Structure 1
Amino acid sequence: MKSRGGHSTWRKIVYGGVLALAIIALLAMRPGSESRDVGEFLPREIRGEANRVVKEIVEESHAINSKIDHIVSLPDNEFLFIVSRSSARDERIVKDLAKGHCYLRFPSGPRPIAARIVDNLRGDGGRRMIRCRAIDQQLPLQSPLVATAQIQSSDGKITLGSRGRSLELVNWNRIVFAALAREEDLVLFTKGIFSVKKETPPKRARCVFYTDNGVAVTYTRVLGLAQEIIRCEYPPGQGRSRGSLVSVVPGEGTGGDAAAPSVAVYGGAAREGQSARPRHLLCACTMVHNAAKFLREWMLYHSRLGIEKFVLYDNNSEDGLEEAAAELRNRDGLAVEIVPWPWIKSQEAGFSHCAASRRDECQWMAFVDVDEFLFPKLWLHSGAKSTNATGTVGSSPLARAIAAATRNRSQMVGQISFHCRDFGPSGQATHPTAGVTQGYTCRVVKEQRHKSLVRLEAVDRGLVNVVHHFTLGQRYATARMPSWKGVVNHYKFQAWDEFKQKFERRVSAYVSDWKEERNIKSQDRTPGLGSKADKPADWERRFCEVQDTGLRDYILKTMASPDKLELPWQS
C-alpha cells in the first residue's frame, strides 16, 4: 500500500509539473511564433503525456487547431486570410474575431508582419474571410512569397493558424476568386487570367477540380470565357465534395500549363433550374464602398418606386454598412442583403455574379449606383397610389414603366435602358442635410451613358456587362426609354469632400484609377481635373448648365412630412 500510494503521489507531482509546463508553453506561443512541440522542453519519459495535456487545453480554449487555408495579398498593404469551413462554423470565431490582429512570418524575415483586423466576412462555401491591414510594415517584394499565418482575437481567446504550413501569398491581380454553380455550367470569376470583351471559344484552357487535400483529380472543358468569367463543364457525376477547390489551366502564355492560383470552392451539385416565377418583380443590385450615409435616401426613394429587395455587394466598406443595413431592415421594413465582395476592381464580375445568382429570386434587376436615382417621370402620378414605403407590386411607378416598355413589341424585351443626367455641386460646399436629391439641382445639358433595368432570364449565358447593361440572349432586345418618359438622375459631381473619394480607387476592371496618368480623356474621368485630387477654386459652380428640380419637387410633394417638411431619411 505504501509503495502504491507513494507511486500515486509521484504521478500527481509529475502531472502537476507537466500541466504547469504546458501552461507556460501555451503562454510562450505568442502571435507570430511558430507552433512548437511542448515535449521538446521536457524529459523524454513524459513528453507524450505533456503533449496530450497541451492538446486538451488548446482544444478547450480554441487556441489553435483551426485552419487558415489561403492568404491573398491586396492593395494598400492589406491581405485576406481565408479560414477553413470547419473552423468558420464556430460562432466564437465569428464573434471574437471582430477585432484583433493578424501576423505573417516569412522564412527569411527578421520579425513577423503585424496587422489589425479590419473586416470579418462571410465567405462562400461556409468559410470566413478575415481582412487585415499592416500596421507599420510593408510586405516583402520577392516572388513567389510564402509565409506562415496567424490570427488572434483582441482578448486572446481565439487564435487561428496555418498549422505550421507555409502558404503562398496569392496576388489579387491574378487569381480565381469565386465560383457559382448553375444548372448548365460552373461559373468561375477570375482576375488577370483572361480578359476578352465578347465570349470567346477557348483554345487549350481546361478547368481543374481538386480533392479536399489539394490533389488535382478531374479536368473538364472550358465551355466559354468572356471578360474575366470562365464557364466550366461539370465533372462526370459531379462527384467532388462541397467546398473543394476549383481552378483553371490557361493553356497558353508563360506558365500556361499550370493551374492559376485559386481560392474558389466548388459548391457541389448544380442548383435546380427555375421551377417557379421569381417572388420579386423588381430588385436592385449595386456595389458599395463606404457609402452607408447615402443608403437611406437611395433605398427609401427607390422602394417607393417599387423596388422590393436591395442587394449590396460590399467592396471593403469600413463606415458601418452592416449597421446601416440593419436599421433599414428593422426600422423601415426593407429587404436588404449584403454580399461580401473584397475583390478589387471587379465591379463587372460582381454584377455578373448578381445576375446569375438572383435569377430565381428577382424577375427584373435595376443595376444603378447609390448616387443614381431612377426617375420614371411619366408614371409617377398615374394609376394606383402606394399605401406604404415599398409601394404596391404591379401598380408601382417602375412596374408601370416596365409594362409600358415591354408592351406590343415584335421581340421580347430583356432590358430597359435609361439615359443619365449628370448633376454638379450646385453651389454646395458640404453634403446637403436633406440629401442629394434636394441639394443638387443644377446639371449639364448633355445626357450621358445609360443605366438599365434587366430581365434576369434574358441575360446571355456569358454574363458580359459594360457600364450597367448586359449582353442579352438572341431572343431578347433592349428597349431604350425616351428621356421625356424617364431618366436616371446621376449625382456625380457632389460637394468636394464627397467627390474626392472617387480618387481612392475605381471599382470597374476596365477603367484606370484616377491617380494614374492613363486614359485621361475617358468618359469615366472628370473634365479638367487630371490625375490629382486638387480642388479647383470654382468647383461649386462647375457642371451647372440648367436648373432641374423635377425629382426634388416630386420627393418634397410625396415624401415630406406635412408639418415639418422633413424627409424620411432626415429623422
Structure 2
Amino acid sequence: MKNRRKRGGLSGGDVVVSWRRFFRFVSLFVFSFVLFSALFIFLGKIRPVVRSSVNAVLRGSVPAVKVVTIHEAVEFPDQTLIFLKYPPYSRLFTKEDLFCVFSDVNDSSKLFKELPYAVETGDYGRHIVRCSAVPRGNTVSLAVSRWTVDNSNLQVGLTHRWDWLVYDAVIDDDNSTVVFVKGLNLRPGKVADVSRYECVYGWDFTKPKLLLRAQVISAAQEIVRCKTPLSLTVLDGPRKAQSQPVKVSVRIKGSGMLPSVAHPIKRPGRVKDTKTFETCVCTMTRNAANVLREWVMYHAGIGVQRWFIYDNNSDDDIVSEIKNLENRGYNISRHFWPWIKTQEAGFANCVIRAKSDCDWVAFIDVDEFFYIPSGQTLTDVIRNHTTTPSSSGEIGEIRTPCHSFGPSGLSDPPRGGVTAAYTCRMALPERHKSIIRPESLNATLINVVHHFHLKEGFAFADVDKGMMVINHYKYQVWDIFKEKFKRRVATYVADWQNEENVGSKDRAPGLGTRPVEPSDWAERFCEVRDIGLRDWVLDNFRDRKTQRLVWEREARRVEDEVIVQMGSWADKRVGRKRKKQLKAQ
C-alpha cells in the first residue's frame, strides 16, 4: 500500500502527494545541482577570468594563471595593436567578445566603445587585438563582453611607437637570429657598421643582470643578423607555462636599447636536397580579397605550387577567401604582418619562411601576372635559364621585365578580372621583378623590392621580354587605383600624398599628390594595344559550357542568370502586349 500524505489546499481541497514522486523530484534537483556545479567549476578553470585591475595580479592578490592581461601595445597612425596574454589552456577571445574603449584622460566618464577591426593570431600563438587609432587626449582599454566577474576593463600599460621598435625576429637555418627593426634609419642597399650595435636577449629588459648579449653579424636596412646565444635557456624558451617566450632587442651603443615585441621564431627544418615545391610566390598585400582568386588560379595554371600571403592590415574578407582557396586544394597560407612601410623586411622574412620548402620564390604583387607567350610553365622558364651557369657564376636570381597597363577605356571594375579586361599599356617596360633561389641570397638579405643582393659566386639572369614578361595592371579604373594613395608598403618609397620624389617612376606620371580623378583617366597610359595575355586567358581559363572564366564568382553567375530570366520574361510580356495591339487593329 502506498504511503500518502494529505494537506489542505488554498481552495479547501486535499492535495495527495506521492512519496515516490517527491523522491524523484528531489533526486533530479540534486543531480542537476551537482552537474551544473561541476560544469561551472570545470569551465571556470579553462575560461579566462578578467579581474578588475591588472595591478591586482601584480600585487599577487589574484592568481596569475586565471587572469587575461594586456601584455603590451603598439601605436600606429591608423590603428593600435594590443597584445593579450592568456593563462594556460584558456579559450581565446574572438572579435565578438571584445570592445575597444576610448576614454578622456581628464574625464573618465567621457568614453565611447567600438568593435575591434579584428583579433589576429601571430607567431607563438600570440593574440593581437586591432583597435582603431587612439584619439588625442584619450586612452584605450578593452572591455570583455563575456566570461567576466565584473564590469571593469583590461587596461593598456606598456605602449610602443611603431617607428622605434624591434618588431619581429626569426632564427635562421644557420642558427643566427634575424631581427627586424624600425628606427635605425640605415641607408637603403648599404651595409652598416656592426660595431655600433649588439643584440640583447631576455624575458625582462628592465633587469640587466638577467640579459644575454650577442654579437651582431650584419646590419642593413631594417635587418640585423645576430649570433644566437648557445644557452639552452634561450633556445628552449621559458620554463614556466605562464611565462612569455624570450624576447630579442637591439642596443645602439651609446644610445640605449630599442623596445621590442619580437620573440625569435625557430623555423622548422634545415634546407633539404629535394624540396616540396619547385616554384612558389610571395606577396605583401592589403584588402586583396576581390582579386586574390584570379591571381592564384591563373598562376597555378602556369606552374606555381605554393603561395605566401603577407597580409598588411586588411579589413576586407581576405581571411575567408584564402580559406576558400585552401579548401579548393591550393597550398596557400596567410601571415599577419601589421608592420607598415616594411615590404623589404617582409620579403626577407618570407625568404626564410620558404627556404626549407621552395626551390624558387617569385616576389610579385597581386596586380602582377607572369605572361609566357610560348605556353610554357614558369618552372620551364626557370629551368631554361638556370641549367647552364653563366660566366659570372651560378644563377640565383631571374629578373623579368614589367609592362604597365592602363585603364584601357574602362570606368568600372571589370567583372571577369584584370587579365581579360585591360588591354592597353605603356610602350616601354618599367623595371623588373625577381624570382630567387633562397640559398643564393646574401646574409644581409638586402632587397629593394625589385631585386636582392646575392652571395659571392651567384649571378642573376635577365629574361628576354619575348620569352616572359609581367603584365602589371598598375593603372586600373579610378575606384581601384585611388586606394594606392593611402599608403605605399615599401620602406624607401614615398607615399603618393607626400611632396617627395614627385617625378619618380613609382608614381603615376602627371597625377601629382592628390587623389583627384583626372577627366581623361580612362584613356591614359595607352600607347600599345596588347591582347596577348587576354587571348591566352580566354583560351585556357574559360568554361566552355558557361563561357565564363573559372575564377568568376558564383554569385555573379546567379545574378546574370536572374537578369537573363527577367529579360526573357520582359520580352515575352512585350510580345503578348504587341499581339493584343495587333488584334485590336
- AA partner of residue 383 (structure 2): A
Deviations 1:193-226 (A, max 9, x none): 2423222331221111113585341111111101
Instruction: Map 1:31-430 to 2 at 5 A.
Output: 34=53, 65-76=67-78, 78-84=79-85, 86-87=86-87, 90-93=90-93, 96-98=94-96, 100-103=98-101, 110=108, 114-134=113-133, 138-140=135-137, 150-155=141-146, 167-182=157-172, 183-196=174-187, 197-211=189-203, 215-216=207-208, 217-240=211-234, 241=237, 243-252=245-254, 256=255, 258-267=256-265, 272-330=269-327, 332-378=328-374, 380=375, 397-410=377-390, 411-430=393-412
Query: Could you say what secondary structure the match of 2:158 adopts?
Result: strand
Query: Could you say what secondary structure the match of 1:246 adopts?
Result: strand
- Residue 465 to residue 98, structure 1, CA distance change in 2 (3 Å): farther
| Equivalent-residue separation in structure 2 for 1:161 and 1:195 (angstroms) | 44
Contact 1:67 1:162 in 2 (8 A): no
CA drift at 1:339? 0.2
Aligned residues: 488
Contact 2:198 2:216 in 1 (8 A): yes
| Equivalent-residue separation in structure 1 for 2:185 and 2:474 (angstroms) | 31
- Residue 283 to residue 37, structure 1, CA distance change in 2 (3 Å): closer
Aligned to 2:530: 548
Query: Could you say what secondary structure the match of 1:351 adopts?
Result: helix
Contact 2:220 2:444 in 1 (8 A): yes
Aligned to 2:35: none
- Residue 371 to residue 163, structure 1, CA distance change in 2 (3 Å): closer
Deviations 1:331-374 (A, max 9, x none): x3111100000111111111000001210011111100000001
More divergent stretch after superposition (231-240 vs 491-500): 231-240
- AA partner of residue 360 (structure 1): S
| Equivalent-residue separation in structure 1 for 2:545 and 2:154 (angstroms) | 64
- AA partner of residue 285 (structure 2): V
Contact 1:364 1:456 in 2 (8 A): yes
Aligned to 1:10: none
The answer to whether residue 492 in structure 2 is matched with residue 498 in structure 1 is: no
Query: Could you say what secondary structure the match of 1:92 adopts?
Result: coil
CA drift at 1:277? 2.2
- AA partner of residue 226 (structure 1): A
| Equivalent-residue separation in structure 1 for 2:151 and 2:303 (angstroms) | 45
The answer to whether residue 529 in structure 2 is matched with residue 527 in structure 1 is: no
| Equivalent-residue separation in structure 2 for 1:176 and 1:106 (angstroms) | 30
CA drift at 1:517? 1.2
| Equivalent-residue separation in structure 1 for 2:77 and 2:56 (angstroms) | 36
| Equivalent-residue separation in structure 1 for 2:230 and 2:507 (angstroms) | 48
CA drift at 1:285? 0.4
Query: Could you say what secondary structure the match of 1:350 adopts?
Result: helix
| Equivalent-residue separation in structure 1 for 2:319 and 2:521 (angstroms) | 33
Contact 1:97 1:153 in 2 (8 A): no
- Residue 98 to residue 341, structure 1, CA distance change in 2 (3 Å): farther
Stretches of structure 2 that go unaligned for 5 or more consecutive residues are 1-49, 239-244, 555-585
Contact 2:142 2:154 in 1 (8 A): no
- AA partner of residue 126 (structure 2): R
- AA partner of residue 212 (structure 2): T
Query: Could you say what secondary structure the match of 2:194 adopts?
Result: coil
- Residue 37 to residue 355, structure 1, CA distance change in 2 (3 Å): closer
| Equivalent-residue separation in structure 2 for 1:419 and 1:550 (angstroms) | 16
CA drift at 1:447? 0.5
Contact 1:83 1:128 in 2 (8 A): yes
Deviations 1:105-130 (A, max 9, x none): 68766456745311211112221111
Deviations 1:239-291 (A, max 9, x none): 32251111011125xxx1x2101111134x68653244221111110011011
CA drift at 1:37? 6.9
Query: Could you say what secondary structure the match of 2:431 adopts?
Result: strand
More divergent stretch after superposition (214-223 vs 358-367): 214-223
Query: Could you say what secondary structure the match of 1:554 adopts?
Result: helix
| Equivalent-residue separation in structure 2 for 1:507 and 1:288 (angstroms) | 8
CA drift at 1:533? 0.3
Aligned to 2:449: 467
Deviations 1:536-571 (A, max 9, x none): 000000000110000000011111111332110114
CA drift at 1:327? 1.1
| Equivalent-residue separation in structure 1 for 2:527 and 2:56 (angstroms) | 73
Contact 2:407 2:524 in 1 (8 A): yes
Query: Could you say what secondary structure the match of 1:203 adopts?
Result: helix
Contact 1:68 1:161 in 2 (8 A): no
CA drift at 1:407? 2.4
- AA partner of residue 82 (structure 2): F
CA drift at 1:186? 0.2
Contact 1:366 1:452 in 2 (8 A): yes
- AA partner of residue 365 (structure 1): V
- AA partner of residue 178 (structure 1): D
| Equivalent-residue separation in structure 2 for 1:108 and 1:445 (angstroms) | 60
CA drift at 1:409? 2.3
Contact 2:200 2:249 in 1 (8 A): yes
- Residue 293 to residue 32, structure 1, CA distance change in 2 (3 Å): farther
Contact 2:51 2:150 in 1 (8 A): no
TM-score, normalising length: structure 1 = 0.79
| Equivalent-residue separation in structure 2 for 1:158 and 1:562 (angstroms) | 61
| Equivalent-residue separation in structure 2 for 1:246 and 1:375 (angstroms) | 43
Contact 1:99 1:118 in 2 (8 A): no
CA drift at 1:132? 0.5
- Residue 310 to residue 448, structure 1, CA distance change in 2 (3 Å): same
- Residue 89 to residue 440, structure 1, CA distance change in 2 (3 Å): farther
Q: Which has the larger radius of gyration?
A: 2
- Residue 488 to residue 133, structure 1, CA distance change in 2 (3 Å): same
Deviations 1:122-179 (A, max 9, x none): 1122211111015xx61349xxxxx7x6423445659999977x72321111110001
Contact 1:206 1:249 in 2 (8 A): yes
